[in-house]
A = this chain, B = another copy of it.
Amino acid sequence: MGKICLPIALEQNDIAKLDEVVKRNRVLHKGEHVFHMGDPFTSVFAVRSGCVKTYQVMDNGDEQVNGFYFPGEVMGLDGLSNQTYASSAVALEVTSVCEIPFAKFRQLTQQLPELQMHFMQLMSQEITAEQQLITLLSKKTAEQRVATLLLTISERNANRNMSASRFRLSMSRIDIGNYLGLTVETVSRMLSRFVKSKVITIERKEIQILDQEALLQAASLDHLPNGLSHRAISRCMC
């Protein structure tokens, strides 16, 4: 990581300070939690490698998947308001995370206005990402939702110099459906439809995008999604 994780606006000196605060290299196996809903809020976390989903358990006992987090993305920001995490975060595969203990971090922000600003921008990004999801859930059809998710993951991959056209969906179809407000069956049908029309290929969890144009059209987007789950990305915390 190292080089690409340089905080853009900080001086060499300040980086070292931040570096002291961040706990790196906590490794989780599939199914292990980063934090649980209701736990006292102590830290925010950045994904280094792997994939994490966040979810809430509602009154009636069922689950709402709130997001998927890829390397560089920051989670746990919802815990600040109540001093307890508003959601749970669980690894979907072998995953490594950085922990940023909030109390120490706060002391640091008071010395480093740039860092404070960066953190507030992270939270703002999380807000706009959620607004994108709200629009998707409120206005889009099943086909558009699935297409949008594929494009979003593709783009997020591209942003971290991985293949935009070929990737692994580490989350289950159930999680995808839950996240997109659809049933598993509907997700499966939409994916099958895309396969049949030669827009993608699927081999278990491996996805290959054959026709990005067609996907964009299916998602009803004029351009690459400048939003959905452009989760809070921090190059300076991972």
For A135, what are the chain B residues with a Cβ–Cβ distance below 8 Å? 56, 58, 64
User: In the complex, how many angstroms separate the beta carbon of A108 from the nearest chain B beta carbon?
Assistant: 12
Let me know if A127 is at the binding interface, CB within 8 A: yes
A121 to B126, CA, bound (A): 14
A106 to B113, CA, bound (A): 9
Are A117 and B106 touching (Cβ within 8 A)? yes
Summarize A's interface: helix, strand, loop or mixed. helix
Out of B121, B133, B220, which one reaches A60, CB within 8 Å? B220
Are B127 and A77 touching (Cβ within 8 A)? yes
For A163, what are the chain B residues with a Cβ–Cβ distance below 8 Å? none
A79 to B124, CA, bound (A): 7
Q: Count A-side interface residues using an 8 Å CB cutoff.
A: 47
Per-position 1/0 for A133-157, Cβ under 8 A of B: 1110111000000000000000000
Q: Which of A1-9, A20-28, A80-88, A184-192 forms contacts with chain B?
A: A80-88
For A60, what are the chain B residues with a Cβ–Cβ distance below 8 Å? 220
A: residues with CB less than 8 A from B are 56, 58-60, 62, 64, 66, 77-82, 86-87, 106, 109-110, 113, 116-117, 119-128, 130-131, 133-135, 137-139, 178-181, 220-223
Tell me the nearest residue of chain B to A41, going by C-beta: B124
Between A and B, 22 residue pairs with Cβ closer than 8 Å are: A58-B139, A60-B220, A62-B139, A77-B124, A78-B127, A80-B120, A81-B122, A81-B125, A81-B127, A86-B127, A106-B117, A109-B116, A110-B113, A116-B116, A119-B120, A120-B123, A123-B127, A126-B127, A127-B127, A130-B134, A137-B181, A138-B180
A121 to B60, CA, bound (A): 27
For A139, what are the chain B residues with a Cβ–Cβ distance below 8 Å? 58, 62, 64, 181
Tell me the nearest residue of chain B to A179, going by C-beta: B138
Out of B87, B179, B220, which one reaches A131, CB within 8 Å? B87
Are B106 and A110 touching (Cβ within 8 A)? no
